[in-house]
Amino acid sequence: MKAIGWGMFIATVSGLASTSAPAANLCVDTVQALQDALDTAAANGADDTIQIVRGTYAISGNHLIFNSAEAHSINIVGGFAPGCGSRLHNAALTVLDGGDTTQIFNVTTSNDFELHFLTLQHGYISGSSGGVMAVFGNGAASSALLANVIVRDSGSDYGVGGVIFSVAGTVTMQDNLVTGIVSPGGAVYVGGETTVAIHFTNNTIVGNTATSPGAAGMIYLGAGANVPMDASNNILWDNGDVPSLDFINGAVLLTDNDYERIDAAFGAGSSGNVSVDPGFAGNGDFHLRSDSTLLGVGTLIPPGGLTMYDLEGRDRTWNGTVDLGVYERGDEIFGDGYDV
């Protein structure tokens, strides 16, 4: 993949039916184009999809900003061919690289903010949480979704080194690989007093490090009282000496997860959870081996639903079953992730 720097802006806009303004599709292939598209989406009065051409994008020193008070959604999607006429459903093909010097995304949203099929790597922030990304809500309609994204090799010298979400609506994390995060307080922080629901499904959280001995957990799921929170089909393994998952005692419904350590009591109705070696392929390869006991044992009906694809574009279910973690064993012959 070629490295792409700041340069020419390429954008296409197509009108689709909307109750307010036409939805906008913005095709980008440089960092400057991506920031320009974020600025456009923040103020154009439309629901926007930013389509990123496959490649590696150096974000170093110029973190991406989205700050919108509009009641419109934004959906940022990787994997597109030049011109954005076709795409591949594979997170590894579109890489945003912070160069170990800068946070990659800083977001304030008033509506739905989504990322799909991207790799976010080498992000770093000093004196604050969210070495890769921070998403803040502006109003009751703010929500966030992170799906089929690789978050890796990033950190912070304060708090959480990966991603943080603080929005008033629902936070959904599906089919994300989080690995190589180093920070005092863990890798992922989801929720706040105003968050109305959290869905955490088919994620693989592995090989992260919390440098503070007082860190509560590698993943934190938290919201106000009586808020539905669930974690299903996740693999939480090899994350040092802290608990794999931290949450308000007894508040999270856990279904069919593999975890190394959870200290809090599970929520009512939790079932199918295990603490076993996942059976990874090894050497940084987090596919499951053919002898893994985690193949085909996940729930097909998690509260937040399943995605259509795994991290590499295979169908998320196979033969009426779903594997734990981000990769589906599936049919290797047809698993190319291609969509016209």
pLDDT in tens, 117-127: 999 999 999 99
Rounded to whole angstroms, how far apart are CA atoms 207 and 322? 23
pLDDT value of position 23: 82
pLDDT in tens, 287-311: 999 999 999 999 999 999 999 999 9
Give the tokens for residue 106: 């800083």
pLDDT value of position 12: 36
> pTM of the predicted model, to two decimals?
0.91
Q: Are 218 and 261 in contact (CB under 8 A)?
A: no
Read off the pLDDT of each residue in 72-81 and give the average, rounded to a whole number. 98
Mark 244-274 as b/e (b = at least 16 C-beta within 10 Å). bbbbbeebbbbbbbbbbbbebebbeebeebe
pLDDT value of position 22: 66
Q: Could you tell me the pLDDT band of residue 225, with boundaries at 50, 70 and 90?
A: confident
- Identity at 32, one-letter amino acid code: Q
Instruction: For residue 183, list its beta bridge partners.
Output: 210
Rounded to whole angstroms, how far apart are CA atoms 299 and 202? 10
pLDDT above 90 (res 333): no
Rounded to whole angstroms, how far apart are CA atoms 110 and 100? 29
